[in-house]
Amino acid sequence: MINSVEVAKALFDPKLNSLIKCVETESKTVKEMAAELNEKPSRLYYPIQKLMKLELLKVEREETIGNLIEKYYTSNHLVDQNMSMEGEFARENKEFLLTQVMTSIQRGVEVLRKDLEADPTPDHSSATYRQATASLTLEEWQELNEEIIELINKRQSSSSHAKRYSFSFLSYEADKK
């Protein structure tokens, strides 16, 4: 069983996080990852195995080159554009769900941190943080969550200049402890 505390530690570890980011859009071999991260391949085997154990990296494919088997690693399974897990399904897959939530939050925090620490200050922000509280019935709360997702889905741009933005929503009962 995956330990969500270990997943959180891995996501906030700069070296492990750089490995995850390195292969989120394109699968790569250890050698390719090492070259991109300016690191020796031998120094990546243990961190890669740790990320594999936590299911933050997966082997996408293997290729035989001579007598060697090259593994291509990916983290694109962590980038799910439209994910929603609730009820019994969420409980049955809680470790995966928590991993997804922590991964999404870590990515957003990293973009926000870079914006805030940029010198010179960028012309526009690449991340925003907003928080709102409302008094709603359970039904109104559920309906509002659906309306937010519908609104986002309606706003897909066909412009070639459009950038991809990720929205992570965690809505919860504020008085619950």
Output the furthest CA–CA distance in the chain (Å, rounded): 64
The pLDDT tens digits of the residues spanning 123-162 come to 888 888 888 999 999 999 999 988 998 898 888 788 888 8
pTM exceeding 0.75: no
The pLDDT tens digits of the residues spanning 54-90 come to 888 999 999 998 898 999 999 888 765 566 667 777 7
Q: Is the distance from CB of 57 to CB of 73 less than 8 angstroms?
A: yes
Q: What is the CATH number of domain 1-121?
A: 1.10.10.10
What would the two tokens of residue 98 be?
A: 């928590």
Domain ranges for the chain: 1-121
Q: What are the E-state strand segments in 6-147?
A: 58-65, 68-74
The pLDDT tens digits of the residues spanning 100-113 come to 788 888 888 888 88
CA angle 170, 171, 172 (to 5 degrees): 120
Q: How far apart are CA 43 and CA 49, in angstroms?
A: 11
Q: Which is higher by pLDDT, 177 or 95?
A: 95
**pLDDT averaged over every residue in the chain:** 86
- What are the start-end ranges of the H helices in 118-137? none
Q: Is the pLDDT of residue 28 over 60?
A: yes
